[in-house]
Structure 1
Amino acid sequence: MLLSRAELAALIPHAGTMCLLDGVLSWDRSRIRCIARSHRAPDNPLRHAGRLSALCGVEYASQAMAVHGGLMADGGRPAAGYLASLRDLTCHVAQLDDIAEDLVIKAENLTGEGSRVIYAFSITAGDRDLLSGRAAVVIDAGVTELGTA
């Protein structure tokens, strides 16, 4: 594993159980591949009525994108980013909490212009596709060029 949970937690604003990823398996300038086991944890903060909807996979993917942004910033904490839209979201399962295997979260930066980035993402477990889609992220959404909102 290239980065441990503690190392990647330093790259995102999430702490404690809200840091859903357990490690970075690989990354380069355009892609990242992370691993997660937290979908099986009974104290996962995204669970509702004891279940973890497959839609929560979007948060796993968002955290992978944020880690990628931090790594691209030479290991510094990335600028704040906000999920602006989702496209082509496909859930192949209803729940994640009943997936026995570790989750592998992949994100690929398709394009980025200044404060806007588009990633394609997918989540798999073993040879099963669980979730996929594209996300548009706006970086520092509340700040103008002059530094005021």
Structure 2
Amino acid sequence: MCLLDQVQAWDAANIRCTAISHRSADNPLRANQQLGIANGIEYAAQAMAVHGALTAPKNQPKPKVGYLVSVRGVNMHVARLDDIQADLFIDATCIMANENNMLYEFKVSAGEKILLEGRAAVVLDADALIANH
């Protein structure tokens, strides 16, 4: 399930994506004919995953699989995404990264209005972490 439509810009720390799938009646995250704002976290997680793939070392034999392990400081400024007529902007900034962990700040907005914002922790290659303990 790919919710994002386009990567508008990215660099070593940031990514900005756009999405229009929030307006789709067949969006797979819809429940009871609506798309709640908490689903914006999935949009942000997908942007983080794309950012990880774009910034992965070129000599890495295979991409590491990332797992979203926590979200913190989430502020939801609206109740729903499906009634937002404008395209969504999904911004994520990597504020910390090491070999096995990444911490992102994210926001989902429409025009100048921030709809959802927070932080997310991603663990990379969780199987390797388990094997080392």
TM score, norm. by length of structure 1: 0.82
Instruction: Tell me the SS of whatever aligns to 1:24.
Output: strand
Tell me what 1:13 maps to.
none
- In the TM superposition, structure 1's runs of 4+ consecutive aligned residues that sit over 4 Å from their partners are 74-77
Distance 1:95 1:74 in 2: 37
Greater RCO, CA 8 A, separation 6+? 2
Q: 1:74: how far off? A: 5.9
User: Which consecutive residues of structure 1, in runs of 5 or more, have no partner in the other structure?
Assistant: 1-17
Matched, 1:103 2:95: no
Distance 2:43 2:120 in 1: 12
Tell me what 2:32 maps to.
49
The letter of the residue matching 1:126 is: G
Q: 1:57: how far off? A: 0.3
Tell me what 1:134 maps to.
119
Distance 1:113 1:35 in 2: 27
Tell me what 1:83 maps to.
68
Tell me what 1:67 maps to.
50
The letter of the residue matching 1:130 is: L
Aligned length: 131
Which of 17, 23, 26 is 2:9 aligned to?
26
RMSD, aligned α-carbons: 1.9
Distance 2:75 2:14 in 1: 20
Q: 1:73: how far off? A: 2.0
User: Which consecutive residues of structure 2, in runs of 5 or more, have no partner in the other structure?
Assistant: none
TM score, norm. by length of structure 2: 0.91
Q: 1:144: how far off? A: 4.0
Instruction: Tell me the SS of whatever aligns to 1:132.
Output: strand
